[in-house]
Amino acid sequence: MEKFNLVDIVVIVAYFAVLTGIGSWFATRRSQNTEQYFVAGRSYPGWLLGISLFGATISSISFVAYPADAFRTGYLRYIICITFPFALLLVSRFFIPLFRRRRIVTVFEYLEDRFGPRVRAYGACVFILSQCFRISLVQFLVALLIHNVTGWTVATCILLGGVFTAYYTIAGGIRAVIWTDLFESTVLIGGALLILFMLLWKIPGGMGHVIAVGVQDGKFLFNEMVDGRLTPISWGISLSRKTVLMLLLVGLFQWLHEYCANQEIVQKYCAAKSIREARRAMWLNCLFCVPTWGYFMFLGTAFYTFYKVFPDPAVSEMLAGTRKAEEILPYFVTTQLPRGTIGLVVAGVLGAATSSLGAALNSISAVAVTDIYKRHLRPEASDQHCMRAARIVTFAASCIMIGGAYLLFKADTLTLQDLWAEFQSIVAGGLLGMFLLGIFTTRGDGRTVAAGILFALAFSAVISAAGLGWLPREWALFIRGHFEGYYTGIVGNVVMLFLGYALARMLPRRGKDLHDLTVWTWDKTCKDV
C-alpha cells in the first residue's frame, strides 16, 4: 500500500480518462441504427479488427491466471493455446465466408435459418448465461490486483472497473469497443513487458538463470499438481485424466467454439469491410495471441525462479495451494516494483480486462436485443426503440458482472482457470455441435437438434452434479474417477453432431432451401462481401 504513490495514481487516472474520452467521443456521434451500434456498418479494416480481436481474446484471465498456472505447475495450459492456429484454419476457410454472406448481426441468426427459431433462442440463452459467468470472472481477477495494490476494498475495485467499462460500451457501442481495444492492447503489452524486465533485472543471472531453474525443476514440462507433487501427464487417450492428446482436443473444440459460436468474436469479423479483411484480422490476431500466451507462461516461470532465489512465506503458501496461485502477480507488483511503475502494471491489467469486458457487454446486448427481444417479444419494435433497449441491456449486464465478480470473491476455489473451463464446457450444451451439423451436412432440422440438446444437457447435468456432490457418494466417486470434467464439452458437441446426423438419416426429410447455408450448397459465384 505504501508503494502506491502519486505517480501511480496519475497513470491510472489517465487510463480511465482516455476510456471516458473515447466513450464520450462516440457518444456525440451516436449510431443511427442497430447495425452501426453492433457491427459498425461493416466498415472496418482488418488490421484494426485484428488488434481488437487480440484485445478481446487476451483478458485478465491471461494476464493473471496463466502466470499463476506456470508458477505453480508447468506449461500444461499452453497445450490448449497450441491448437489456436489450427482452429483458425477451419474458421477462416468455412465459417467466415458463410457468416459474411448471410449478412448476420448475431451468429444465432444462422441457427434460425438452418434449424428454426427455437434453436436460435436456445443458442442465444446459452451464450448470455456463459458470458455472464465469464465477465464476472474477468472482473474479479482485475479487482483482485487493484485491491492488492491500492488497499481499497474488493467491492470498490469491482465497482470501479465495472462502471467505466459500462460507460464507454453503452455510449459508443462496438465502435468504442474496437478503438478502446487498440489503446488497451498497447497498455497491456507495456505493463507485461515491464514486469518481466523487473524480474530479470532482480534475478541474479537474468534470463539464463530462469531457463536453468525451469529446466532443472521441470517447469517447462506439461505437468499437473497431484498430491502436492508435480507430475507429468501422459500422451495417450483417456476420458478419466488429463493427457496431451486430450488437451489438444479440448483446445481445438474450445477455439472452434470461440470463433464460430461466440458472438463476441463473430461480431468483430462481421464488422469488417469484406471477407478478405475479416481473414486478415483473424490471422493478425493469431500472430499476436500465440506468443503472448507463451510470454505469460514464461512470466510464471520467472516468478517461480525469483522466489526460489528470494524465498517468501506468503509465496510458499501459494505454491502449497493454501492461498490462491492467482495472487502471485499482484503480490509481486505490490512488494517488488519500484515507485511509479505500479500504476502502469495496474493499467496493463485493466487494459486486458476492459478490452475483453467491453466486447462481451456489447455482444450480450446484441444477442439479447436481436435474438430474443426483437425476434420473440417485440417484433414490431422500431430500430430506435431497439437502440434504447440495447443500452438498457448493456447496463443490466454490467450490474450482473459486478455482482457476479463479488460472489466469485467469496467463493472457495483455488484454480479459477479450471472453474471457468469446466463451467464453459457444461453450459455450452453442444452449441458447437449444432454449427458443425448445420454447416458441414445437409441433414438435420429442429427435431434432431432438440434431441441432441436434451442428451447434451442431461450428460452435462450428471457430470456437474457429481462434481458438486449432489449425487450419492458412490456414484459421484465413480463418475469423477472415470471422467475428467474438462472433456464435458467435447463429448457434448460430438454427441450433438453424430446423434443429430443419425436421427436425421432415420426421420423423414423436410423440404428446406439450404442455399448458402452449408459448405455443400454455397453459391461459388458470390463476390467478396
pLDDT digits (tens, 9 = 90+) for 184-213: 788 888 888 888 999 999 999 999 999 999
Please say which residue of 415, 444, 476 terminates a domain.
415
Residues 104 and 253 in one domain: yes
Residue of 117, 107, 386, 418 lying closest to 264 (CA atoms): 107
User: Is residue 503, in this structure, part of any structural domain at all?
Assistant: yes
Residues 488 and 371 in one domain: no
Query: Which positions of the chain have pLDDT values less than 50?
Result: 1-2, 414-415
Measured distance CA(213)–CA(317) in Å, rounded = 20
Residues 391 and 443 in one domain: no
Residue of 103, 89, 60 lying closest to 326 (CA atoms): 60
Residues 399 and 435 in one domain: no
Structure confidence at residue 101 (pLDDT): 85
Measured distance CA(519)–CA(99) in Å, rounded = 12
pLDDT digits (tens, 9 = 90+) for 481-525: 777 777 777 888 888 888 889 988 888 877 778 888 888 888 766
pTM confidence score? 0.86
User: Is residue 287, in this structure, part of any structural domain at all?
Assistant: yes
User: Is residue 56, in this structure, part of any structural domain at all?
Assistant: yes
User: Is residue 324, in this structure, part of any structural domain at all?
Assistant: yes
Structure confidence at residue 526 (pLDDT): 64
Residues 396 and 515 in one domain: no
Structural domain count of the chain: 2
Number of H helices, E strands in the chain: 24, 2
According to DSSP, residue 442 is labeled S
Structure confidence at residue 161 (pLDDT): 76
Residues 243 and 164 in one domain: yes
Residues 150 and 38 in one domain: yes
Structure confidence at residue 71 (pLDDT): 92
Which residue type occupies 254? Answer: Q
pLDDT digits (tens, 9 = 90+) for 89-126: 999 999 998 888 888 889 999 999 999 999 999 899 88
CATH of the domain at 41: 1.20.1730.10
Structure confidence at residue 418 (pLDDT): 52
Structure confidence at residue 527 (pLDDT): 65
Residues 460 and 398 in one domain: no
Range(s) of the domain holding residue 449? 428-529
Please say which residue of 415, 447, 476 terminates a domain.
415
- Cβ neighbours for 126, distance < 8 A, ≥ 6 positions apart: 427, 428, 429, 431
Give DSSP secondary structure letters for 368-423. IIIIIIIIII-TT--HHHHHHHHHHHHHHHHHHHHHHHHHHHHS--S-HHHHHHHH
Structure confidence at residue 3 (pLDDT): 55
119 by DSSP, 3-state: which?
A: helix
Structure confidence at residue 105 (pLDDT): 87
Please say which residue of 354, 389, 415 terminates a domain.
415
Residues 391 and 453 in one domain: no
User: Is residue 422, in this structure, part of any structural domain at all?
Assistant: no
User: Is residue 420, in this structure, part of any structural domain at all?
Assistant: no
